Amino acid sequence: MSDVSFRVQGMTCASCVRRVEKALDNVPGVHKSTVNLSTNKATIDINPDETNVEILLAAVKDAGYPAVSETVDYGVMGMTCASCVGRVERALSKLPGVLDAQVNLSMERASITFLPDVTSAVELRATIADAGYTPQLLDDNAGDDPEQAARVAEFKSLRFDVIFAASFTIPLFTIAMIKFYAPVEEVMLSIMSLEGWIWVEFLLAAPVQFWAGKRFYVSGWAEIKHFSPGMSSLVMLGTSAAFIYSLLALFVPEIFPAGAANSYFEAAGVIITLILLGRLLESAAKGRTSEAIKKLMQLQSKTATVIRGGVEMELPIDDVIVGDVIQVKPGESVPVDGVITEGSSFIDEAMITGEPIPVEKSIGAEVVGSTINKTGAFQFKATRIGKDTVLSRIIKMVEDAQSSKPEIQKIADRIAGVFVPVVIVFATLTFAVWLIFGPDPALSFAFVTAVSVLLIACPCAMGLATPTAIMVGTGKGAELGVLFRKGTALEQLAKIDTVIMDKTGTLTLGRPTLTDFIVTEDFSSDEAEVLGLVAAAESKSEHPIADAIVKGAKDKGIEVLGVDAFEAEPGFGIEAMVAGRKVNVGADRYMKKLGIELGDTENKASALAEQAKSPLYAAVDGKLAAVVAVADPLKDGSKEAVAALHKLGLSVAMLTGDNAKTAKAIAGQVGIDKVLAEVLPDQKAAEVAGQQQSGGNVAFVGDGINDAPALAQADVGIAIGTGTDIAIEAADVILMSGDLRGIVNAAGLSRQTLKTIKMNFFWAYAYNVALIPLAAGAFYPLLGVLLNPMLAAGAMSISSLFVVTNSLRLKGFKAPLETAVVSKGNGNTEILQTA
């Protein structure tokens, strides 16, 4: 199986989504299709041996919804004959997502229409080059966001239609409303007869009905043809009924019962104008829901200063290749991902980590494309380009999350799939009941109520309730440094009651650090000298604890001297000669073996061990000089994060392969009550499953390769962004900064998003449940009130607009806790190695 994604134009409601999914699911070879109304994106799992992109596009187009495509022109240098033309056209046509490729020999030009979600401009150029020719970009607009271009085109089209419709509808509505107003009626009748004025209404209504409203006929007919009526069908049926009824009343009034030959031209015109206006406002609001993606894409650099053969040249970003050496000056953005080879600087990485403080970078440090160089100049070697860069992968994750469909949306889609047909049946019954039992003129009453029911029940708000909230929620999460790889994770995270955390690299930094250096009384005045001697001795050791001691000395500005002699005794310790002095470092048994008395330092070492630290002893020239403690320290914010999770009512447990004593000490420091210690890597997933079988909704937080099965097993897997690629790929949520306080922010955002979705659904359904009876005239016998079809159309548009604007409120979500960045000693933020 393989995934295919492309944008779909023209969808307006949940019924449209259902119809496109149905059309795709009916294609042989399609395993599953998911269509998102807010992103206008279809994602399909297919068997490539049974179907292809062209067949899928044809199915979607036949359903009445064309795919979003982009056309780009390239100069093709090196062609000499018709065979060259055929070779380039065949090569391009074989590329997935290319809809049309036309090559002109005399103009040396190729015009290519393609799906930007399936292939890219980079791949098009590469294909031309692989065919043996040199591509040159001719179209200045190539590379623009096609989705944004489609949205702008749709907005402009709607704006024109609204202005066009309003220019006819305003005089139409004015004439219809004032012609029976006594002071005006006499003047109007002196100019023209009543029938003449109705003719004027007809002439004003016709352009609105058949020009401004043609989009409803195009999509409405496609809906009916595929036995899947939706919003456009309802509008088409309702307004056509009003127009045809009025037309018959004008031309053949004698076929109507007395008093029923009424004109409703103004209703048809106003309904179409109001719905178009609602669509226009909705289009503007929907465009804002995907601002997170737009902002991220705007961060991408357009050019890079590349050094090739000793020559500095400015190239388009698409022409950069892995291995290129790139120069970055102060104030410029880093074009692609890479490793610094010359120079140093401070780089603003807020767009990746959310951390506003610039991070120091020097030779060997990794840099991320689109981050901002603040101070110094440097050169770096490109290691990741195009879709492999951190930013491109973030954009892909956010897009995938926005396109995925939570369970609550699947339920809504199923309801919407039957809702419109039921409404049409209900409108037909309403018409029949009023026609049979209604007062005179019964036909007029029956017509008004049936049209009102059709218009009030349009399921736009239902279709937008979930995807708009998911789009804004995932976008906001990206701003906060929390990446939701799946939109379903937003829903699931709001329902968890248990959080299980890995220890090493998750609660702790994941690397040994010198935490304590306590000198004995005999060496109390020489602490720096003793630490320098111990660090020098450990500099020859390969033990991880040795690295921590050396780094601790360097961080204090102490020079690490050379070593004249070195010997390690496995299981005990090391001996070294440093500046003419003998230095021994090791466990208590090593000191006792050397005949060195420990005295009261044993109590200090024991106290350190109870704090989950690893104590060692150091002797200089045969005398005990210091107690050294190394530990994997807690990350900043771990304790605060656990406390905040408890306040949210969540149970927090720790899962680790470490020994029980160390695990309990760490758990006690952060406030975790439940500890699952000495768990083997292959048992972690089983422990998570056990918690789930007990009835819990579990989120697992981890960073290592051995955490991947547990991350996949959990209801929500949360990966530390500073961890391994494998853990990140297995997770549903990624904390980009590596700070556990991000879990609290993610949980808070998910709860607020789910609350927004539920509020949207309540509004959408409550609106229909409350107003359909009113539209059907259920209150007329008691109150004498009927809902005017024009008001029904306006209310329907307002319902959709409310849902979109309610979702946009998530942009104002405030993170409960501030997060920090976890960095390495060389100033390199760890995420840069793995994100």
405 contacts 463 by C-beta, under 8 angstroms: no
Query: Per-residue pLDDT tens for 389-418?
Result: 877 776 776 666 555 556 666 666 666 667
Instruction: For residue 438, count CB atoms less than 10 angstroms from its CB and return exposed for 0-12, middle for 13-18, buried for 19 or more.
Output: middle
pLDDT at 829 over 50: no
Band of pLDDT at residue 452, cut at 50, 70 and 90: confident
Residue that is written with structure tokens 């090559």 in the block: 103
Q: Which of 275, 250, 230 is nearest to 23 (CA)?
A: 230
The answer to whether the bond into 146 is cis (omega within 30° of 0) is: no
| d(C-alpha 22, C-alpha 62), whole Å | 12
Q: What is the mean pLDDT of residues 633-652?
A: 88
Q: Which residues contact 558 (CB under 8 A, 6 or more apart)?
A: 528, 531, 532, 535
703 contacts 727 by C-beta, under 8 angstroms: yes
Band of pLDDT at residue 833, cut at 50, 70 and 90: very low
Query: Per-residue pLDDT tens for 693-748?
Result: 888 889 999 876 567 678 878 888 888 876 545 556 667 888 877 788 889 999 99
| d(C-alpha 675, C-alpha 660), whole Å | 8
Question: Which tokens sit at 821?
Answer: 């960045």
pLDDT of residue 204: 95
| d(C-alpha 652, C-alpha 449), whole Å | 57
384 contacts 367 by C-beta, under 8 angstroms: no
Please list the alpha-helical segments (H only) found in 480-576. 487-493, 527-538, 544-555
pLDDT of residue 143: 43
* pTM for the structure as a whole: 0.61
* Given 161, 318, 400, 502, the catalytic residue: 502
pLDDT at 764 over 60: yes
pLDDT at 282 over 50: yes
Q: Which of 488, 504, 328, 295 is nearest to 409 (CA)?
A: 488
E-strand spans in 451-603? 482-484, 498-502, 513-519, 565-569, 573-578, 581-586
Q: Which of 391, 390, 381, 384 is nearest to 327 (CA)?
A: 381
Query: In this predicted model, which residue has the larger pLDDT, 286 or 617?
Result: 617
pLDDT of residue 835: 23
Phi, psi of 482 (to 5 degrees): -115, 115
Band of pLDDT at residue 432, cut at 50, 70 and 90: very high
Question: Which tokens sit at 276?
Answer: 């178009």
Query: In this predicted model, which residue has the larger pLDDT, 221 or 356?
Result: 221
Band of pLDDT at residue 827, cut at 50, 70 and 90: very low
Query: Per-residue pLDDT tens for 28-80?
Result: 999 988 888 777 888 888 888 888 888 898 888 888 888 888 888 888 876 75
Domains of the chain: 2-62 (3.30.70.100), 70-144 (3.30.70.100), 145-301+386-480+743-835 (no CATH), 303-335+337-384 (2.70.150.10), 481-509+635-742 (3.40.50.1000), 513-631 (3.40.1110.10)
Question: Which tokens sit at 757?
Answer: 């979705």
Strands 698-702 and 716-720: parallel
| d(C-alpha 748, C-alpha 485), whole Å | 17
| d(C-alpha 65, C-alpha 61), whole Å | 5
Query: Per-residue pLDDT tens for 347-393?
Result: 887 666 545 457 788 899 889 888 889 878 999 999 988 878 877 77
Question: What is each CA distance from 449 to 255, 273, 443, 793, in whole angstroms?
Answer: 21, 20, 10, 13
| d(C-alpha 617, C-alpha 592), whole Å | 11
Q: Which of 237, 173, 75, 379 is nearest to 245 (CA)?
A: 237
Instruction: For residue 647, count CB atoms less than 10 angstroms from its CB and return exposed for 0-12, middle for 13-18, buried for 19 or more.
Output: exposed
pLDDT of residue 532: 93
Q: Please tell me whether residue 543 adopts helix, strand or coil conformation.
A: coil
Q: Is 502 a catalytic residue?
A: yes
Q: What is the mean pLDDT of residues 231-258?
A: 80
